[in-house]
Amino acid sequence: MKLTDFKALTFDCYGTLIDWETGILSGLQPLVEKAGITPSRDQILEIFAQNESAQELETPAMPYSQLLSIVYKRIARTWGVAATNEEANSFGASIPDWPEFPDSVSALQYLKKHYKLVILSNVDRISFRASNTRLRVAFDAVYTAQDIESYKPSVRNFEYMLQRLRDDFAMEKGDILHTAQSLFHDHVPANRLGLASAWIDRRHAEAGWGATNRPPGTPRYDFRFDSMAAFVEAHQKELRG
């Protein structure tokens, strides 16, 4: 199997192209200070992951920015402090402030010349629009949890994406390489559907699972890269033969 075998790259956005962990930590800092605690970076991300996943299961049709507001209040309760609606909504509205990874823009601009580029994200459309501006590329399709009314790792999101790519672009499963950081949200369901995947291991230098839950079992992937820049280098090497 080679990278050049595929016609489309389907991307998770947050954690893969957008540095959501930096954004999450920044957005939760006022709550940490209010609670008067000193958790580690990974402890903050872990409590976020637990509450985010639980809320997504409880309210699968809720737009992500609204869901984040509830997650903020859940974390506040865990830490034994009160959070105002204004504070929670500010966190929910922080997605446009989450930065892109330094290599995302140049990698996407290069890959756009060789593939259809597609987003499959747990975010809502308005929030993604701001992130898309940061990424500076025209994606060929964008499928969000808001459209599907469920959140990854549900296979429903992937089934929706595959059907749309079949209907709109005449692409079959074998034409598609799902490209994502989260083993929990993306590679586990990709495995269940027999979809080829590339792991962008943004946390390769860090322990733990960061802002995602531990994946069940041992997810498989067909390619692994530390960054999107490394993905591009591997593609260029294939083209050189």
pLDDT digits (tens, 9 = 90+) for 123-157: 999 999 999 999 999 999 999 999 999 999 999 99
The model's pLDDT over 22-57, given as tens digits with 9 standing for 90+, comes to 999 999 999 999 989 899 999 999 999 999 999 999
Whether omega for the bond prior to residue 30 falls within 30 degrees of 0, making it cis, is no
Tokens of 160: 């929706």
**Short-list 116, 115, 110, CA closest to 135:** 110
168 and 152, same domain (yes or no): yes
Structural domains counted in the chain: 2
Please identify every stretch of the chain with a pLDDT value under 50, giving residue numbers as ranges.
none
Residues 126 and 8 in one domain: yes
| 201: containing domain | 3-19+100-240
- Do 189 and 119 share a structural domain? yes
Looking at the structure, tell me whether residues 31 and 67 fall in a common domain. yes
Q: Check whether residue 115 and residue 78 sit in a common domain.
A: no
Pair 35, 123 in one domain: no
* pLDDT value of residue 183: 95
| Same-domain status, 82 and 159 | no
Which residue type does 160 have? Y
- Residues annotated as catalytic are 12
CATH number at residue 90: 1.10.150.750
138 and 66 co-located in one domain:
no
One domain for residues 209 and 135: yes
Q: Can you give the pTM of this predicted structure? A: 0.94
Any idea what the CATH number is for the domain that residue 113 is in?
Answer: 3.40.50.1000
Assess whether 105 and 170 both reside in one domain. Answer: yes
Do 105 and 152 belong together in one domain? yes
Among residues 74, 97, 120, the one where a domain terminates is 97
Are 36 and 135 found together in one domain?
no
Tokens found for residue 101: 């990874």
Question: Residue 202's pLDDT is what?
Answer: 96
CA distance 154 to 95: 22
